[in-house]
Amino acid sequence: MTANRPWLRTGLALAALLATAPVAAKIWYTDSQSETAAELVEQLEERHYAKLEYDDELSSAHLDNYIESLDGGKMFFTRGDIESFEAFRYVMDEALPRGRLDAGFEIFNRFEDRLTARLERVVDTLPALYAAMDFSRDETYAVDPELRDWAADDEALDERWRKHLKNQALSLRLADKDEEDIVDTLLKRYRTQLTRVRQYNAQDVFQLYANALTELYDPHTNYFSPRRKENFDINMSLSLEGIGAVLQLEDEYTKVSRLVAAGPADKQGELKPADRIIGVGQGDSGTMVDVIGWRLDEVVDLIRGPKGTTVRLNVIPADAASTEVHKEIQIVRNTVKLEEQSAHSRVLEVPAGDDSTIKVGVIDIPAFYIDFEAMRRGDDDYKSTTRDVRRLLDELESEGVEGIVVDLRNNGGGSLQEANELTGLFIEYGPTVQIRHSSRRVWRDGKRMRTAYYDGPLVVLINRLSASASEIFAGAIQDYERGIIVGDRSFGKGTVQTLVPLTEGQLKITESKFYRISGDSTQHRGVVPDITFPSLYDPEDIGESSLEHALSWDQINPVRHRRYGDLDPLIPELSALFQERSASDPDFNFLVDRVALADENDDIQVVSLNEETRRAEREAREARALAIENKRRQALGEEPLASFDDDEEDSAGEDGVDPEDGEEEGEDEADVLLSEAGNILVDALLMRKQAYAIHSPEEE
């Protein structure tokens, strides 16, 4: 009966929820936020690429996503709370465009009540709880929230928290925390969280509620409150007097999403994507502050600091066998300098059979950069990726290289102009990318004039962290059949965002999408290599496909374009040669085994709360890591280790990662992949020479 009377449905829902809500809301929205909410919905519906209408279906998803953002671990709300919120499921789409934010603030106030009460209880009872913990008891705890359901009542929540706290205490015991410090560490953690809960304000709540909606359009569409307006990226790029990292929240942890090329963390070498930061300390000896459960912006504030100062990070490595494996990393804060992101080159001597070698040039491009300010000044020597690579190509050719490997690993993108112009160094002319706007208008960019270009053999090496502009370049090279793409499937970010000012704060909204000249989108799927290497990064943790509500892959009409080489027939034979060669390469097999071990660790969803069992499981993982290391050593003719402690120089720690020398190990792994890219280029070159010799007429 109310289906044709939405105003009545809204009123009934409000009345139903208010009947169970506190008499006086502790936090409530302002007139400015009411106006901003209406503007936000209008902008999303009119300008977002996905063209989604905020209707009943999206209202339902908005409710679920908002609850998930507040209590994704199902640790505070009970089933009764969740059932009471059902009153808003199909009416938020009618309330929000009118500036009614009642649902968001009523739900948050309930959450704050539950959160405050729970944390106060933990702080009051933790010493007694720890004293009663029996670590010889056989029981398990689901560390994956997806395995949990909403607790039926407070008693069920109490039991969940008992196991949660026991798991945290056991992790500290296994990390060799002093017995008397375990309770103090946990108390400090929860007292800090309680203090931060009490600092929530209307801006915080509005941002949470707004982003629970914007994220349904796609993960790169975000609302920034005035407090966060200074940050262009919601993931908090720390490139300005920080460590040069992009961070995101995942459950209770601050996770490294990617590193800024040539930034302090990247150059230091130990911090890796998917590492989880659990502590931040200032200087060489400042107190290590536990940041588990902190808000992202608060963690960022601790990590940021003046140039030249030191920050220490306590992290759980991405490939750690368990959360009790920690590693301390010391980084000196600095700014990222353009010249340090510059492309650079080297020459590889690649075996070609019969004790001969072939010179292969490698051009490493950390980012797509251009000094716009110098260009606008009319400086003839302004720096750009294309200018630097053109110079490097000339230098490498003068050194007699017979092919080029362009290394785009970890290149997160940058200037679209440079991606297009760089492609122009390897093709005579033609389009390189198609861009479709939310209006569905398509325009193309690329090389418009026929000019000289490098026409020698080309391999492009990519990985999961090659994104955006890197994907445009690699995709164009693949579509033109100008070179062979090797490595791991790229990140898959094929969207373009713009900033829209609102009455309060601003909206970063996805308005356009990149497409290759083949018509394929780079979004979600990324660029799929012609020859695939083992991935150093779990696609469940890193990449567009790991993000909820990411826009899907699709196609538009292709562009007619030249194909420079008939490469498709070569790929099967090149792949077979690669498989045969890598199967007997100790370093390559070491990498494959390490990736497999990391995958096994990632699959752990339930952990034992029995200390003896947990220690045995950890020892088994350590033994597996040691066996992998010794397999490599024996293949190289080196002495095996009885334990990682036997040799500090080659120690790989509990998680198989060298805690003191992570940078060198990372470089060794990178060299394995780069060497294999060079081998593939030489294989292709020799196959071409052989085919030419067979089909060339004999001299008389």
Residues carrying an active site annotation: 468, 479, 493
Q: How far is it, in rounded angstroms, from Cα 172 to Cα 185? A: 9
Q: 396-421 as b/e, with b when 16 or more CB fall inside 10 Å?
A: beeeebbbbbbbbbbbbbbbbbbbbb
Task: Catalogue the E-assigned strands of 283-403.
Answer: 289-290, 310-316, 327-332, 344-351, 357-364
Considering only the C-alpha atoms of the chain, give the largest distance between any 2 of them, rounded to a whole number of Å: 102
**Residue 662: Cβ within 10 Å count:** 20
Can you spell out the DSSP letters for 475-518? HHHHHTT-SEEEES------EEEEEEE-SSSEEEEEEEEEE-TT
Residue 612 burial by Cβ neighbours in a 10 Å radius (0-12, 13-18, 19+): exposed
For the CA atoms of the chain, what is the radius of gyration?
A: 28
Q: How far is it, in rounded angstroms, from Cα 428 to Cα 425? A: 8
DSSP state of 221: -
DSSP state of 139: -
Q: What are phi and psi of 561, to 5 degrees?
A: -150, 155
CB 472 within 8 A of CB 461: no
Between β-strands 531-532 and 484-487, what pairing exists: parallel, antiparallel or unpaired? Answer: parallel
Instruction: Give 436's strand partners.
Output: 442, 513
**Closest-CA residue to 328 (of 175, 182, 167, 542):** 175
Q: How far is it, in rounded angstroms, from Cα 674 to Cα 452? A: 28
Q: How far is it, in rounded angstroms, from Cα 291 to Cα 280? A: 7
- Long-range residue pairs from 341-346, CB within 8 A, at least 24 positions apart, any chain: 341/261, 341/262, 341/366, 341/367, 341/369, 342/366, 342/369, 342/383, 342/388, 343/385, 343/388, 343/389, 343/392, 344/392, 345/392, 345/395, 345/396
CB 325 within 8 A of CB 615: no
